Structure 1
Amino acid sequence: MTVKGTLIPIGGNEDKGKNESEKHILEFIDEGILYHVKQQAGGKDANIVVIPTASSIPEEVGENYLSAFTDLGCENVTVLDIRSKKDSESQRAIDLVKAANCIMFSGGNQSKITNKIGGTTIHKIMMERFQNEVGFVIAGTSAGAMAMGREMIAGGRATEAFVKGAVTMYKGLGFVPELLIDTHFIQRGRFGRITGAIAKFPNLLGIGLAEDTGLIIKNGKCLVIGSGMVIVFDGHHITHNKEKILDDGTPMTIANLTVHVLSNGDRYYIDERMVNVLPIEADFI
C-alpha cells in the first residue's frame, strides 16, 4: 500500500530556538528540526496542532511549542490538550485534527498517548489522512516518536535491557508498522534496550534516534535530519536468537544483527533495507 502522508519521528530535546546567539537563531530558523516540520506541513501558513498528551506538564509544553513555531513564522498553531479518551472524542478535537496540516506529539510517557488516543475517532482520522493525503504530516518527539510504530517500547532500564524480560512492550498507534523506534538513544545508552526489543520482533527494523535528530519518512523513504545520529538495527539476517525459549532474567545472545550509523542527509529505504549516502544538498524524493 502506498502511503501519501509524511511521518517525522524525532529523538527528543530538539532545538526550540532558545539560545540567544545570532548564529544559533539563524541555524534554528533555516536548518532546525522544527523548521523541517513546518516546511513539510506547507510553510508558515500551515495549520499545526500540538498534542502534549504524553507530558506531565502539558500546558508548559504546549506553550513552548507555540513559542518555537511562532519564532519560525508560523501563524496557525493550536494546542490540543487531551487528558482522557473522552477528550479524544470531543467535537473540538475531531474538528482540529480534520483541519490540521500537521499533528505534533510531544514527549513524556508514550503509554499516555496510546491509552488516551489509540483506537479513538481522532486516531482513526489521523490514520486515514496519513495514508491518503499528500502533505499531511504527523510529527512526534521522544514519546511522540516511540508511539508511531505498531510495536512500542514502554519501558526498560539501559543497564538491564539485554536480559530476557527486561524490555516492556506495548501497542503503539501503528502509523509505521515496519519500525520499532527508541529515542534519546545515544544520550541514555539504549543500545541494549532496542536490541532486546528486536530480539522479540526480528522482522521489524529498530530505529534509535539521538536527541535533536529525526527522520522525514515518505512512503518508506527516510531522510536523516538534525545534529546527531540515527542507528538502524536490522534483524532480518539474525542467525542466533533464543529470546523465545529463555527464562526471564537470562542474558541473551544475538548473532548477525546488522547495524547502520547514519547522519544528516543520509537516506534509508525501509522496504529494500538499504542505505543510500548522498550529499546533504541533494534533492530528497
Structure 2
Amino acid sequence: MLTNKGTLIPIGGNEDKGIEDNEQYTLEFIDDGILFHVVREAGGTDANIVVIPTASSIPVEVGENYLEAFSTLGCKNVTVLDIRSKEDSEKQASINLIKAANCIMFSGGDQSKITNKIGGTEIHDIIKYRYKNEKGFVVAGTSAGAMMMSQEMIAGGSATESFIKGAVKMYKGLGLVPGLIIDTHFIKRGRFGRISEAVAQFPQLIGIGLAEDTGMIIKNKRCRVIGSGMVIIFDGRRLKHNRHKILTEGTPMSLTGMRTHILSNSDSFHIEKKKVKILPIEAPFI
C-alpha cells in the first residue's frame, strides 16, 4: 500500500447542540474538540476550509451552521461549496476552490449524493491527487461524509434486521481509503449487523464502526482515535465460517472467526499492519 501524504478525518456523526433534534440545528462535534482537530490538522485558523454540504437535504442551513462553527473556533477563511449536480462539480469556480483549499469538509446526509454528484468528476480527481501527494491537505467528513471515503461504501441497510443477507446495500465510494469500510452513528443506531455483512462481502477489508462524537485522524496508514466515544474494528481476514457468497437474500447468516477491537481516545490502528496500539493508562488524552 502506497503512503498518502495527506490526512483523512472520518467522524462518526453529529452532536446535538440542545436546540432541536434536527439536522438544521446541529453543530457537529464542536463541543468535544473534534472540529478543533480538523482545524489544527489543516494548519490552524488561517487555513482555507471548503465545506461541501452535498449529502444534506438542507445544504444551505447546514452550510451556515458550519460557517458559524468554524467562526467560533476563530477560522477566517471558510467557504461553502454548494454542489447539487455533476455540472456544479465541473464548474471552474468549484475547481478553483478545491485547488486552493487546505481542508475539504463534507457534511452528513446521504452518502450516495456525494458519489453521484462528485464521483468521477474533475474535483474528485483533484481531491484524490492532493490527498495522495500533499502533506497537510485534509479531507474531513461526518456521517455520510465519512462513509464515502472508502472504495466499497455502505449505501444503506436496515439496522433492525438480525444479520440477514441483503440487509446492507453496497456502492462505490470516492476511494480515498480503499482498505477500509466505514460506518457511522455506530452505537446509537445499532449497526453491528450492517457492518458485519459488509465485511462478510469483502473480508479482505477492515470494517470501522465510528460512534457519534468520535473520529479518526488517518495519516501515514495509521488511524488515531479522537473524541469521546468508541471505534470498533472488524477484521474478517481469518473468518472460519462465511457463506455470504452462496446464501440467498433474506437468509439468516452466521460468521465465525471475526476479530474485533474496541478503541477509544488516542488509541490507534495501523491499516497495513492490522495492529492496534492502546494508549497507556497513565498517558494524557490528546
Question: Same fold per TM (> 0.5)?
Answer: yes
- Mapping of residues 167-246 of structure 1, within 5 Å: 167-246=168-247
Of the three residues 276, 280, 284, the one matched with 1:281 is 284
CA deviations 1:38-63 (Å, max 9, x no partner) are: 00000000100000000000000000
Secondary structure in 2 aligned to 1:155? strand
Quick one: structure 1 residues 161 and 92, their matched pair in 2 at CA, closer, same or farther if it must change by over 3 Å? farther
Secondary structure in 2 aligned to 1:62? helix
CA deviations 1:216-242 (Å, max 9, x no partner) are: 000210110011000000001111000
Return the letter of the residue paired with 2:103.
C
Secondary structure in 2 aligned to 1:160? coil
Return the letter of the residue paired with 1:182.
D
Q: Which runs of 5+ in 1 are unaligned?
A: 19-26
In the TM superposition, what is the alpha-carbon distance from 1:165 to its structure 2 partner? 1.3
In the TM superposition, what is the alpha-carbon distance from 1:3 to its structure 2 partner? 0.6
Return the letter of the residue paired with 2:256.
A
Return the letter of the residue paired with 1:97.
I
Return the letter of the residue paired with 2:141.
G
Distance 1:99 1:53 in 2: 19
Worse-matched range after superposition: 144-153 or 155-164: 155-164
Q: Which residue of 1 aligns with 2:112?
A: 111
Q: Which residue of 2 aligns with 1:157?
A: 158
CA contact (8 A) 1:164 1:251 kept: yes
Distance 1:204 1:37 in 2: 26
In the TM superposition, what is the alpha-carbon distance from 1:166 to its structure 2 partner? 1.4
In the TM superposition, what is the alpha-carbon distance from 1:160 to its structure 2 partner? 1.4
Return the letter of the residue paired with 2:179.
E
- Mapping of residues 83-162 of structure 1, within 5 Å: 83-160=84-161, 162=163
Secondary structure in 2 aligned to 1:4? coil
CA contact (8 A) 1:4 1:132 kept: yes
Q: Which residue of 2 aligns with 1:255?
A: 256
Distance 1:33 1:52 in 2: 18
Return the letter of the residue paired with 2:75.
C
CA deviations 1:95-130 (Å, max 9, x no partner) are: 000000000000000000000000000000000000
- Mapping of residues 6-17 of structure 1, within 5 Å: 6-14=7-15
TM-score (norm 1): 0.93
Q: Which runs of 5+ in 2 are unaligned?
A: 20-28
In the TM superposition, what is the alpha-carbon distance from 1:281 to its structure 2 partner? 3.5
Q: How many residues align?
A: 275
CA contact (8 A) 1:17 1:68 kept: no
CA deviations 1:59-79 (Å, max 9, x no partner) are: 000000000000000000000
Return the letter of the residue paired with 1:39.
R
In the TM superposition, what is the alpha-carbon distance from 1:28 to its structure 2 partner? 4.9
TM-score (norm 2): 0.93
CA contact (8 A) 1:213 1:225 kept: yes
CA contact (8 A) 2:265 2:285 kept: no
Secondary structure in 2 aligned to 1:12? coil
CA contact (8 A) 1:15 1:33 kept: no
- Mapping of residues 61-80 of structure 1, within 5 Å: 61-80=62-81
Secondary structure in 1 aligned to 2:155? strand
Between the aligned residues of both structures, percent identity stands at 69
Secondary structure in 1 aligned to 2:104? strand
Worse-matched range after superposition: 208-217 or 270-279: 270-279
Structure 1 runs of 4+ aligned residues shifted over 6 Å read 15-18
